[in-house]
Structure 1
Amino acid sequence: MNHRIITISREFGSGGRTIGKMAAEKLGIPYYDKDLVKKVAVETGFDESYIEKQGEDAPSKSIFGYAFAARGMNGAMNGMSADDFLWVIQRNVILDLAEKGPCVIV
């Protein structure tokens, strides 16, 4: 991969979406934000609102919270927790977009 990928991490009210859109427009490259959620929803079968919520909340820092997290079985989510499974799918979607060319991802 030899593309420039701009990623913007943001907090609510920071203007990250606006900055991302402006940068993509100025550079003439694609901009991805909500599109990412839709692509992940298609890949996982999870509801878009669930994916958005998971993206907003930090995982539990407690080892007990992680230990008791719901897990899939070998045929479902490859035995991973829902959070881990979602992370892997998000990663794959982002890598696919990055392979296509330069872009801005919020």
Structure 2
Amino acid sequence: MSFNVIAIEREFATGGLEVGKKLAKKLNIPCYSKEILEIAAEKMNLSVGELKDIEESTTGNLLFSLNLFASYTSGGNIGLTKEQKLALVEAEVVKELSLNPCVIVGRGAAGLLDEKNVLKVFILADIDVRRERAINIYNVEEPLVDYTLRKFDKRRANYFNAITGVEWRNPKNYHMILNSSKLDIDSIADILFKCVEKSHM
């Protein structure tokens, strides 16, 4: 099976987005992450800022599965909360984008896309490396770094688990688990590129 779509999930401050962008450049295909939110904003006639506010307010109470309210897709999403509507629209965007070759970072793509042409990857890193990246790249204050790592990981896990019905950290849900503290960003991008390239032979 040829891999045409690469779905990357990642712990916070592991360089997953950098990997996605480098891989997309090597493959000459687009990389989507925050762009998904921008497309969703256009579909919902809201600003990106408004959608970010909705995401920020979303907690672990976003406990629903897309399967449970799939019937709403033909009914105008009546009865859904704004958080659920956003998640549903983002899921639709992910599925639309996956019709063409691309790299998708986050947004639950690795759980939403069941097609055999999707390479699913999870990127993690040792805690010390993540702390350093959070401080140096994301300008997180040192006293808040551990809290910030936990907060973003929990948010990503809750979102992924809720909209896909599968566990974010479960290695069985991915083709590859890569550690960006053992391999640098370029090496990971190279590994994934070779994997995709070989799948097309």
TM-score, length of structure 1 as denominator length: 0.69
Q: Provide structure 1 residue ranges, at least 5 long, that are not aligned to the other structure.
A: 64-74
CA distance in 1, matches of 2:53, 2:15: 19
Aligned residues, how many?
93
> Share of identical aligned residues, percent?
30
Task: State the secondary structure of the residue aligned to 1:46.
Answer: coil
Deviates more, 1:44-53 or 1:4-13: 44-53
Q: Tell me if the contact between 2:36 and 2:93 (Cα under 8 Å) persists in the aligned partners.
A: yes
CA distance in 1, matches of 2:46, 2:97: 20
Structure number with the bigger relative contact order (C-alpha 8 A, sep ≥ 6) is 1
Is 1:59 matched up with 2:59? yes
Structure 1 residues 1-106: aligned runs within 5 Å: 4-55=4-55, 59-61=59-61, 77-99=77-99, 101-106=100-105
Task: State the secondary structure of the residue aligned to 1:78.
Answer: coil
Shift in CA distance, 32/14, structure 1 to aligned 2, threshold 3 Å: same
CA distance in 2, matches of 1:56, 1:17: 20
Amino acid at match of 1:90: E
Amino acid at match of 2:43: E
State the Cα distance separating 1:51 from its structure 2 match: 2.7
Task: State the secondary structure of the residue aligned to 2:60.
Answer: coil
Shift in CA distance, 23/94, structure 1 to aligned 2, threshold 3 Å: same
CA distance in 2, matches of 1:96, 1:22: 22
Q: Tell me if the contact between 1:32 and 1:104 (Cα under 8 Å) persists in the aligned partners.
A: yes
TM-score, length of structure 2 as denominator length: 0.40
**Structure number with larger C-alpha Rg:** 2
CA distance in 2, matches of 1:79, 1:8: 31
Note the aligned Cα RMSD (angstroms): 2.8
Shift in CA distance, 24/87, structure 1 to aligned 2, threshold 3 Å: same
Task: State the secondary structure of the residue aligned to 2:6.
Answer: strand
Q: Tell me if the contact between 1:3 and 1:98 (Cα under 8 Å) persists in the aligned partners.
A: no
Q: Tell me if the contact between 1:41 and 1:48 (Cα under 8 Å) persists in the aligned partners.
A: yes
Shift in CA distance, 53/105, structure 1 to aligned 2, threshold 3 Å: farther
